[in-house]
Structure 1
């Protein structure tokens, strides 16, 4: 079989990476690959792709083999082992009185390396801790500091929508989320209400941002003056979902359908601006 491109994901909702292979493997199959961390078990998340579809400027690592029963059993054994190792490490951290909160622990497939993930508000000097952990676990040790979003991804939970957190259920990696997205969707800028379990802006603000940007093009801008019935009124708000426009006239506020208002001709708008 000719060389193909395989997209591999680790830990169910982890990031995805490309590898090359000449094996006849398919979406959903488990494979063993060599990564910067060491030997790992991954899952094919798409069917193989032709290398010709991509303009690659670097050589990809190859898939070592299709995972066998021994690999799968070892992977499950390592997960149990990691839970015990996490508790041991927590006791050692407490003994050294270090300002760090351990979140997760993972072993590479061959258990040649153990990775402890932690959060901390300050820089941690863990040189002595590393020595202690190396003597206890007898393998390579990596201490990786993670942010609040990654912590929520690992721990999981229920969002304000009542569903499992997006980051721990299907988001492979985080997209940029800005306060402007909340403003674009005309949400009240209440940080507590637009923040997720991680304390950062809700990832779901990203989902509808483009739709709101497109839909708002049908509406007059807030502050614009438009014609409603026989009156010139001012737009003070929008409800894009319901196709409603919030208008003000002589101090009276009301919601009217978008198709009930008319945009003023340009000459009328200029006259209206001068008169105000």
Structure 2
């Protein structure tokens, strides 16, 4: 289907609209209907084809091409928004509200004035709305946004020296967790991995999938590997270059660097591998620990019999357990055996 790309702010999102039969080119201004009302936007990409599978509902059509009057009105609204911003800040201070004003925005026909703000808690701004409506004589709308949206609206420079990703090309905010910083080997100092908004930097998620793959094929620190010079313990890992610093089990040999391809994971490490020999060898040990715990809970019952019970075979009753002859030097007892199964209470021989 044919669409055009339109944006309404310098650092705002790009929206698709149906051009119909009009010839629209990049740099033109168009009048469209949005959720905020009638607006004038700049075309950042002319008519082009996109797949219709990604659209949940029908696109809104372009009303008409913007003329000189519409463009002058849009620029006048931008100038009046700065004055509205100052007035609203004064009213907020007068009412003593704990909220931070971010931006003011007029619709093209000036039928609505929208104020964006941030606040830590819920704010009762009903009196403020009445005060602003009596001053501007138009419909007032207050919208609370997050700190990330604030940075996107205002813009700025990140610690990398580039403009904020959110105000430059990011369309939607993706979730970012501290786990990403750990897997990438970054410092967990909040001042180094947080952006200007105070949240974790969005760029942590750019290479996360690559780090997940490299970590899955790289032996972790503390694991035992087999090298061309024999077995050793991994002391340092650089997943990007694929180099591992390995200390040999022979004390006379100094630590040496090896490529990832030269090392074969054997066992151990702080993080389990997703695939490979390590997972196969580590499994029996873990299962052995669990089996020992189960055996202690079952009163000494062997793992094989317990697994048979789990596999669908009936557990042995106390009477069946007493059928084999007694030990040498002992008299047969009619009571339950020494280690009854808690899940199957002991029964008297005559109750079978």
TM-score range, shorter chain: 0.7 to 0.9
Q: Deviations over 1:170-227 (max 9, x none)?
A: 2232122122221221212222211100010101111121222334444234443212
Conserved? CA contact 1:219–1:258, under 8 Å: no
Q: Which has the larger radius of gyration?
A: 2
Q: CA deviation at 1:264?
A: 5.0
Q: Deviations over 1:22-80 (max 9, x none)?
A: 12213443222111111112233444345774365523221112222222222221111
- Please say if 1:62 is aligned against 2:53: no
TM-score, reference length from structure 2: 0.68
Q: How does 1:139-178 map to 2 (within 5 A)?
A: 139-178=138-177
Provide the secondary structure at the position in 1 that maps to 2:246.
Answer: strand
- Structure 1: gaps of 5 or more residues: none
Q: How does 1:217-236 map to 2 (within 5 A)?
A: 217-236=216-235
Considering only aligned residues, what root-mean-square deviation do their CA atoms show, in Å?
2.8
Q: CA deviation at 1:162?
A: 1.6
Conserved? CA contact 2:102–2:117, under 8 Å: yes
Conserved? CA contact 1:228–1:260, under 8 Å: no
- Structure 2: gaps of 5 or more residues: 267-276, 286-352
**Residues 171, 260 of structure 1: alpha-carbon distance in 2 compared, 3 angstrom cutoff:** closer
Conserved? CA contact 2:74–2:108, under 8 Å: yes
Conserved? CA contact 1:244–1:255, under 8 Å: no
Match of 2:71 in 1: 72
> Mean alpha-carbon deviation: is it higher for 225-234 or for 51-60?
51-60
Aligned residues: 270
Q: Deviations over 1:214-255 (max 9, x none)?
A: 344442344432123423122344223333224344699957
Between Structure 1 and Structure 2, the one with more strand by share is 1
TM-score, reference length from structure 1: 0.85
Q: Deviations over 1:143-175 (max 9, x none)?
A: 011111011112222211122221222223212
> Mean alpha-carbon deviation: is it higher for 249-258 or for 7-16?
249-258
Match of 1:136 in 2: 135
Match of 1:205 in 2: 204
Provide the secondary structure at the position in 2 that maps to 1:193.
Answer: helix
Conserved? CA contact 2:114–2:141, under 8 Å: yes
> Mean alpha-carbon deviation: is it higher for 79-88 or for 245-254?
245-254
Provide the secondary structure at the position in 2 that maps to 1:227.
Answer: strand
